[in-house]
Amino acid sequence: MSHRESRFFLVLALLAFLTAATTGAILRFGLFLGMPSWIHNFGAVRHAHSHLMYFGWGTVALMALIWTRLPGLTGRPLARGVRAQMVATSAVALLSFPAFWSNGYGLTRVGSLELPLGSMVAVLNILSWIVFVVLYVRSTRRLAERPLPLQLWDWAIVLMMVASAGAVSLGVEVTLDLRNPFLQQAGLHLFLDLFAVGWFTLALLGLVWDWLGQRVALPDWLPSQSLATALALTFFLGMSPSLVPPGLFWVAALANLVAGILLAWHLVQLWKRRAQLPRLAWFGMAALALHVSIAVTLLWPDLWRWSGGTQLRIFFLHNLLLGWLSSMLLALILAEQVRLARPVLQLAEGAWILSVATMLAALLGLGFVQFLPVPGHVWLEVAAWASLGPILTGGLTLAGLLLTQEAPVSMAPFPEVTGD
Ligand code: HEM
């Protein structure tokens, strides 16, 4: 597969980002000005936003970058079928947006039928990820040694599959009309939370360590399996506190502490090598450091119970997904794939850092609104205006990708598929 093709999938990922970010900005303005009349179901549109971000932006961009880097690590061509898998994964990811738009995971009338459109498209996405896993295993099996990025991707993929079981269980619950709040919440958070802290975070760490491994010596050892095991248990903390028995809370809280320590270990090692990383990546690392620090405070059960009733969840999610995941992905794409004139690059990075930091601060302000002298509508307004910044940076990156002709200097080539 040529560079042109790998770039094609990053273009699709950025289109998904721009569509979902524009939807998010419309929701943000709607929250303080009133929703536009064509948004009939806020919850469903929020699902359309979050699923397009997960499936179309995060997942497609990570997979495209992993496929690009893998041959350089294994010394082998990719297994046959990668291109078809990427076409299928991108297509069903983009489909998730219309599928979730009207009723989310609920039933939507199509002609004379009532169909769980969101769940059906989620299953199609999961099937395409299973193909990704099969091709990844075929491309990497029986290697004499597995370098750190590969170890992290191995575990990222395991957690992606575990998280997918949550989305499947949501679909099964809707289809069978099961109304068990514990199962409903467990399925939702197994998917939403573990997909983000498991698949996204470990896959991204693998990409960053691979980037660094091309430039400087890597540490002899860093946690991957232990980190994945600890992360796998943390999703219970995302559930509504009234549904989580104390025993389960303590298992999840201790796992969260261990995961926080292991992630901090990665962060310290990354920070020591920060001179080799783009500035936008520093911002991403700061967001991950904030995430780890907050995660540790959840050991205090009263704080966890209290925060469940506030807007802090939206802050916590976006700090991880926008602050860490999206900043780091954009940093890697801008550094590796795009040649922008220096002032344009500075505008893109500056607009991102300023707007994302402002939006996160406003979401934090909303979370603590009852203790602050600033009323809620001010935080909502600030968050809404700040939501325009990511659209500007996403648009500049997309334009840069489309306009950059020459092959990137720093990447291993994406070789022709020969099959095995
Ligand atoms: C680009 C800027 C973004 C904006 C303006 C934005 C906006 C929003 C808004 C307005 C909500 C609903 C908040 C509420 O219910 O009070 C939301 C929820 C959410 N967003 Fe974003 N968002 C952005 C980026 C992202 C990214 C990058 C991701 C993931 C990669 C993401 C994933 C989510 C998730 C998972 C939810 C919660 C969904 C749920 O609870 O059903 N967002 N976002």
The pLDDT profile of the chain, 420 residues, written as one tens digit per residue, is 567 788 999 999 999 999 999 999 999 999 999 999 999 899 999 999 999 999 999 999 999 999 999 999 999 999 999 999 999 999 999 999 999 998 888 888 888 888 889 888 999 999 999 999 999 999 999 999 999 999 999 999 999 999 999 888 877 887 787 788 898 889 989 998 999 999 999 999 999 999 999 999 999 899 999 999 999 999 999 999 999 999 999 999 999 999 999 999 999 999 999 999 999 999 999 999 999 999 888 889 999 998 877 889 899 999 999 999 999 999 999 998 888 899 999 999 999 999 999 999 999 999 999 899 999 999 999 999 999 999 999 999 999 999 987 655 444 443 433 333
Please classify residue 247 by burial: count the beta carbons closer than 10 Å to its beta carbon, then call 0-12 exposed, 13-18 middle and 19+ buried: exposed
- Could you tell me if residue 177 is inside a domain? no
- Could you tell me if residue 299 is inside a domain? yes
Q: Is the CB of 52 under 6 A from ligand 1?
A: no
Ligand 1 atom 25, closest CA: 322
- Could you tell me if residue 115 is inside a domain? no
d(CA 118, CA 120): 5
- Could you tell me if residue 348 is inside a domain? yes
Q: Is the CB of 197 under 6 A from ligand 1?
A: no
Backbone φ/ψ region at 26: left (φ over 0), alpha (ψ -120 to 50), beta: alpha
Q: Pick the atom of ligand 1 nearest to 391's CA.
A: 1
Q: Is the CB of 388 under 6 A from ligand 1?
A: no
Which of 4, 160, 174, 153 shows the shortest CA–CA distance to 89? Answer: 160
- Could you tell me if residue 181 is inside a domain? no
* Cβ contact 207:66 at 8 Å: yes
- Could you tell me if residue 316 is inside a domain? yes
What's the CA dihedral at 237, 52, 122, 41 to 10 degrees? 80
Please classify residue 355 by burial: count the beta carbons closer than 10 Å to its beta carbon, then call 0-12 exposed, 13-18 middle and 19+ buried: buried
Residue 187, both tokens:
């399925």
Residue 282's domain spans which residues?
A: 273-414
Q: What distance in angstroms lies between residue 124's CA and the mean position of ligand 1's atoms?
A: 22
Q: What distance in angstroms lies between residue 46's CA and the mean position of ligand 1's atoms?
A: 7
Could you give the C-alpha distances from 104 to 34, 43, 46, 119, 172, in angstroms and in order? 21, 7, 8, 8, 14
Residue 251, both tokens:
């298992």
- Could you tell me if residue 225 is inside a domain? no
- Could you tell me if residue 328 is inside a domain? yes
Domain count along the chain? 1
For a mutational test of ligand 1's pocket, the pick from 41, 317, 377, i.e. the residue with the most ligand atoms closer than 8 A to its C-beta, is 317
Q: Is the CB of 321 under 6 A from ligand 1?
A: yes
Start-to-end CA span in the chain (Å) = 15
* Confidence (pTM): 0.94
